[in-house]
Structure 1
Amino acid sequence: MHKKQRILALDVGTKRIGIAITDEIGYTVQPLTVISRATDEKAVAKIREMAIKYHVGKIVIGLPLTLKGEIGNMAQKVLTFADKLRSDLDIPIVTWDESFTTTEAEDILIKKADLSRRKRRKIKDKIAASFILESYLRGRE
């Protein structure tokens, strides 16, 4: 029996990229890590390594649309990064509306986890990536 491939989700920011992943059958989501976006080339290389290591069959990138649902400045930067990934990786890469996922992650970490700002900064991006991936999986059903 052939295993389904995992889906990797990215919450792309200007300094960091939060990463989450599904299990092998695409049912559960877990925050994975946060990587630096010091240079796009290094970030793409790290994502490529993870895609190989975890047998990723698709990458979902959160697209931060404006309140009107339009592509603003940050969304354009994310699309440019997505194009760099597409040119480097031979797996499907899709974008998904990520509206408010980072804000939701921050709220949960403040209200529920009671973490300091420094600790929140280290994990909020991978939590946001997991929200993007959960939303994507629900949207496919």
Structure 2
Amino acid sequence: MCALTATTLLAFDFGLKRIGVAVGNTFLKQAQALTVISAESNQAKFDAIALLLKEWQVTHCVVGLPSHPDGAEHEMTVRCRRFSNQLEGRFGVTTTLVDERYTSAVISAKRGEVIDAQAAALILQQYFDENP
């Protein structure tokens, strides 16, 4: 008998004010909006992330990587790469960056907490779709 194992992943839609978070696993390959982190300080944000990583027993995270429509990087691209590196360094998780250029076309142009978590779910779903 073969045992099936699933790995749980968290995805992050990083923003300076809010970080949208989604969850999914490699068995179902379906992303679900989870929460939004809107703490004031960076330390409080990373404390909230630490709790989520522990609760969901995550070893792999996905981070949305924004860029201009032509693929050129901008300030938030650099910040998202730094955030991804900080996740790896602080928590020992593997991170994968996923192009998020087209998630904003799917999600309404207005921003808000629910929208941030839905954007994270789209980022994670894109990862699942690209990694069968």
TM-score bracket for the superposition, by shorter chain length: 0.7 to 0.9
* Cα distance in 2 between the residues matched to 1:15 and 1:60: 19
2:131 corresponds to 1:140: yes
2:115 corresponds to 1:124: yes
Q: 1:66 to 1:37 in 2, by over 3 A?
A: farther
Deviation at 1:3, TM superposition (A): 3.1
Alignment counterpart, residue 34 of structure 2, candidates 32, 35, 42? 32
Work out the percentage of aligned pairs sharing the same amino acid.
Answer: 27
Q: Which amino acid in 2 is paired with 1:39?
A: S
* Cα distance in 2 between the residues matched to 1:139 and 1:75: 21
Contact 1:44/1:84 (8 A) holds in 2: no
Q: 1:26 to 1:57 in 2, by over 3 A?
A: farther
Which stretches of structure 1, 4 residues or longer, exceed 3 Å deviation after superposition? none
What residue is the counterpart of 2:58 in the other structure?
Answer: 56
Q: 1:130 to 1:122 in 2, by over 3 A?
A: same
Q: Which amino acid in 1 is paired with 2:55?
A: K
Structure 1 gaps of 5+ residues are 108-116
| Deviations, residues 10-68 of structure 1 (Å, cap 9, x unaligned) | 00011000000004724221100001152222212211211110111210000001112
What residue is the counterpart of 2:74 in the other structure?
Answer: 72
* Cα distance in 1 between the residues matched to 2:131 and 2:39: 29
What residue is the counterpart of 1:20 in the other structure?
Answer: 22
What residue is the counterpart of 1:96 in the other structure?
Answer: 98
| Deviations, residues 49-100 of structure 1 (Å, cap 9, x unaligned) | 1111011121000000111212211111111222222211111011110113
Structure number with the higher helix fraction is: 1
What is the count of residue pairs matched by the alignment? 130
Structure 2 gaps of 5+ residues are none
CA RMSD in angstroms comes to 1.9
* Cα distance in 2 between the residues matched to 1:48 and 1:25: 23
